Structure 1
Amino acid sequence: MEGNGAAAGGTRRPWSICRQSAGAPLAAAGSMSIRAVLDRVFSAVDASGPRPVLAIGNGDPTASACFRPPLEAEEAVVEALRSRKHNGYSPCVGVLPARRAIAEYLSRDLPYQLSRDDIYLTSGCCQAIDVMISILAQPGSNILLPKPGFPLYESRTMFSNLEDRHFNLIPDRGWEADLESVEALADENTVAMVIVNPSNPCGSVYSHDHLAKIAETARKLGIIIIADEVYDHLAFGNKPFIPMGIFADIVPVITVGSISKRWLVPGWRLGWIAMCDLNGILKEAKVDKLIESYINITNDPATFIQGAVPQIIANTKEDYFMKILNLLRNSADLCYGKIKETRGITCPHKPEGSMFVMAKLDLSCLDGIQDDLDFCCRLAKEESVIVLPGSALGMKDWIRITFAMDMPTLENALERIKSFCQRHAKLEA
């Protein structure tokens, strides 16, 4: 039997797959994900400790029994499965009844009517982001991203060789976008700016006035807006949720969203891209064709979930949504109040939407804590509490806390954080 060249004393080229540089962009992008950072924090937990781990760093509320999808949504999925009409492949852009239902759902909040042809179904909002970043990633182009922001955008731009430029969100102004920095960052190669409203990670909800200013700024710069509205309608403060699409007569808007958060089913992986294009600018640029072409070479959301969507939207009662908003409002109030009691952490803005709050670490009050990652790892080791380091979101020496959980667990976690800060407090002179 013949051996390989090396075994026979000959020489051969190194295996190409072993070259370290081959996967470098993917490895770098993957290391920036929230999951990767939280895994690092989790690794600091003392597994032999007597207390359960309390995770208030991720964005999955389904770990708490009080955050459950509506019965109507579950029944719609069962009915779709038992109908045996949704066992095959779906069209790449999504099944027609689901696209029509989502167009009607989004149009409730708009001064015009979206059509089914404006909607493209995706495997969750994450795939919607993937699609948009991929089709915009032309050589030499750049995109404007909020800081702090959802790190998937930065990961995807890095992997796609699309330059990201970060504009600041201003804590003392309710995390509004710094539009002066937007104008300073944009140039002729800027293809879009991203707005996340209601905000992950800030818990803010933008006013009509601020959204109008964003639209006018984008129009002035000649760039489209990608409106990440995955937390649409999860607004429980003084400001209602207003979709960016109402300004589509001023600027082209691509809205990305999903049923994941409002219906509390992140694992069902049903998202969408909606083109809000009253002036036909996106279609003239053939963005619709690019979206369809990219979706043609990617995976589709599960067909039976698509089949259930019309009934999920039609049958879910308003009192279900009000119940969830009340739960979020109460837990946000608890979180904000407990942070105010804790020396070494400050919260510049009370959360008004989504499921998160950003809190700033005052390291001058904490003895021996080097930065936000050090804080989170020590907290995990000493108190078995997991929070997300702000550096994962572009905000060094901040932390993100998720308050979408049952009140006793949240209160327990926040009390442990308070104890941790007291134990590490510097003695006052």
Structure 2
Amino acid sequence: MPPVGVPLVIEKKKWAVRASEFAKSTFNPIRFIVDSMKMEQHPDKYMISLSIGDPTIFGNLKPHNATIEAVHNALDKMTFNGYAPTVGYFEARSAVAEFYTTPETIISPNDVILSSGCTHALDLCISALASRGQNILMPRPGFCMYRTLARGHGIHSKFYNLKPEASWEIDLAHLESLIDGNTVAIIVNNPNNPCGSVYSKEHLLGILQIASRYCLPIIADEIYDFFIFKGEEFHPMASLSKNVPILTCGGIAKRFLVPGWRMGWVLIHDRNNVLNVEVRGALNALTQRIMGSNTLVQGALPDMLRNTPKSFFAETIATVQTNAEIAFEKLQQCPGLFPGIHQELRIGSHLLKPYCGDCAILDIPWE
């Protein structure tokens, strides 16, 4: 007889191979809609998708020669073709630490974990901090991958509101009202995707005060850290924290214009060693699930980070801002569209319905 609780093995008459609960509960609503959308194209006009976050798609934004040269050099060395430590090569982690160290935030190589893109970095943080039945606070509207990554693990998503009338700042009162005994972390996305807001120093300090009161670590998604238009100022959340542990997620996708190279990182900011007891070990263990990130790009990272001139980043953002202003101006001329670079309007579905009969407008509900 099998042990108690183990099902009896019986012969079956037909195949019944099932998908796992993890797979069935993994769902990305935006990808589902975009990938399954079939629209008739205008015979004389090229369709420009406004839902794509890939800076390479139109071919007008290309990586700097120093970035390409770094990969060529790494390939020629023939020393980055094997497995690396799952957290990443020490030299690559040292280069990331050097790139992000400031007088306010000193980062060591041991505070850096390399990942397969920023999404994987987010996955590491969510998986390290939360267990089934616990919850993480996330922005609404926000990047849908936060919920996708949590849902498969049985981690609940609780959405705090952003205020469109206040340049999409977080509704701090609503955020605090969502915290309960099962809340284990807060995700803060700044600069924000999809709203484009850049939070002030004062607003970030307000978020940190709440996190400090409830002893909640923050997962800071800062992949757009350099996408700051003229007149705005970006403050890394870790530079303002005195006692709240911050796991900062970033990567090369947007800044270096190479999202397909799949290189990201988690920066562990932990002034009071709160995360040393378990979380650092948990992050290290989780990297072993995919045996680390792209080793060729790891080999190129030191030269990429040190040799790509800052003027390249400035030129890139100037181009993006110019194109955004052109798109904004043209979209304003389209009946039924209400664009905003700094959106100050609260637009509900009822305002769109009169246009839905004649225009290609898809109203996507949010929870």
Same fold? TM cut 0.5: yes
Checking the alignment, whether the CA contact within 8 Å between 2:83 and 2:291 is kept in structure 1 is: no
Whether 2:230 is the aligned partner of 1:234: answer no
2:197 to 204, 222, 232: 204
1:168 to 161, 164, 170: 161
For structure 1, which segment, 357-366 or 209-218, has the greater mean C-alpha deviation from structure 2 after superposition? Answer: 357-366
Q: Mind listing any 5+ residue stretches in structure 1 that lack a counterpart?
A: 1-9, 352-356, 377-388, 396-429
Output the CA distance in 1 between the equivalents of 2:89 and 2:326: 42
Checking the alignment, whether the CA contact within 8 Å between 2:84 and 2:295 is kept in structure 1 is: yes
Checking the alignment, whether the CA contact within 8 Å between 1:345 and 1:360 is kept in structure 2 is: no
Whether 2:99 is the aligned partner of 1:105: answer yes
Whether 2:135 is the aligned partner of 1:135: answer no
Whether 2:367 is the aligned partner of 1:375: answer no
Which 4+ runs in 1 deviate beyond 6 A?
none
Q: Deviation string for 1:235-284 (max 9, x for gaps)?
A: 01422111111133231100001011001000010000111000111113
Change (3 A) 1:349 1:324: closer
How many residues are aligned here?
Answer: 358
Partner of 2:239: 246
Output the CA distance in 1 between the equivalents of 2:73 and 2:286: 31
Shift of 1:363: 4.6
Checking the alignment, whether the CA contact within 8 Å between 1:203 and 1:358 is kept in structure 2 is: no
Partner of 1:44: 39
Whether 2:288 is the aligned partner of 1:288: answer no
Output the CA distance in 1 between the equivalents of 2:299 and 2:147: 33
Opposite residue 329 of structure 1, the aligned amino acid is Q
Output the CA distance in 2 between the equivalents of 1:222 and 1:160: 23
Opposite residue 81 of structure 1, the aligned amino acid is L
Output the CA distance in 2 between the equivalents of 1:26 and 1:222: 32
Checking the alignment, whether the CA contact within 8 Å between 2:167 and 2:197 is kept in structure 1 is: yes
Paired residue secondary structure (2:218): strand
Change (3 A) 1:348 1:319: closer
Percent sequence identity over aligned pairs: 32
Output the CA distance in 1 between the equivalents of 2:230 and 2:346: 18
Q: Mind listing any 5+ residue stretches in structure 2 that lack a counterpart?
A: 1-9
1:277 to 270, 273, 285: 270
Shift of 1:39: 1.2
For structure 1, which segment, 213-222 or 339-348, has the greater mean C-alpha deviation from structure 2 after superposition? Answer: 339-348
Opposite residue 354 of structure 2, the aligned amino acid is D
1:29 to 26, 29, 37: 26
Opposite residue 85 of structure 1, the aligned amino acid is T
CA RMSD in angstroms, aligned pairs only: 2.6
Partner of 2:7: none
Output the CA distance in 2 between the equivalents of 1:333 and 1:227: 28
Paired residue secondary structure (2:361): helix
Paired residue secondary structure (1:54): coil
Whether 2:249 is the aligned partner of 1:256: answer yes
The alignment's TM-score, normalised by the length of structure 1, stands at 0.78
Checking the alignment, whether the CA contact within 8 Å between 2:105 and 2:238 is kept in structure 1 is: no
Whether 2:295 is the aligned partner of 1:303: answer yes
